[in-house]
C-alpha cells in the first residue's frame, strides 16, 4: 500500500472519525476495532473527552492524540475504503 496523508479530522460520537485524505477521499471511520484491540497507548481513547482531542499532525501525515497515540495513514485509508480494520465507508 502507499501513504496517503490525512489532511482533516473531526471526532464524532461513538469513537468515530470523519477523515479527509490528501486525494480528496472523505469517510467516517469507526475506531473501536483499533482502540479496543490495541490497548496500551490507545486505552485513554476509550474516554470520549480524550478521544475528541484528536488532531492532524501535518509532519506525520496522520492523526495523533496528546499522549502520543497515532494511527498509520495506510490503516486509516484502508478502513475508510472498506478494506481493513476499523470498518468505515465513504461518507
pLDDT at 91: 40
What band does 19 get if pLDDT is binned at 50, 70 and 90? very high
Give residue-wise pLDDT tens across range 43-86.
999 999 999 999 999 999 999 999 999 999 999 999 999 875 44
Report the pLDDT averaged over residues 13-40: 92
CA dist., res. 79 & res. 65, Å (int)? 19
How is residue 10 written as a grid cell? 473531526
The answer to whether the beta carbons of residues 63 and 57 sit under 8 Å apart is yes
Domains and CATH numbers, the chain: 6-90 (3.30.2020.10)
Is residue 24's pLDDT more than 90?
yes
Closest CA to 53 of 69, 61, 65: 65
How is residue 88 written as a grid cell? 468505515
CA dist., res. 74 & res. 62, Å (int)? 9
Report the pLDDT averaged over residues 8-36: 94
How is residue 80 written as a grid cell? 475508510
Amino acid at each position: 500500500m502507499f501513504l496517503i496523508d490525512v489532511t482533516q479530522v473531526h471526532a464524532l460520537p461513538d469513537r468515530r472519525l470523519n477523515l479527509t485524505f490528501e486525494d480528496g477521499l472523505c469517510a467516517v471511520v469507526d475506531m473501536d476495532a483499533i482502540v479496543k484491540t490495541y490497548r496500551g497507548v490507545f486505552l485513554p481513547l476509550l474516554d470520549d473527552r480524550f478521544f475528541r482531542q484528536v488532531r492532524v499532525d501535518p509532519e506525520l501525515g496522520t492523526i495523533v492524540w496528546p499522549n502520543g497515540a497515532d494511527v498509520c495513514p495506510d490503516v486509516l485509508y484502508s478502513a475508510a475504503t472498506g478494506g481493513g480494520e476499523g470498518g468505515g465507508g465513504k461518507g
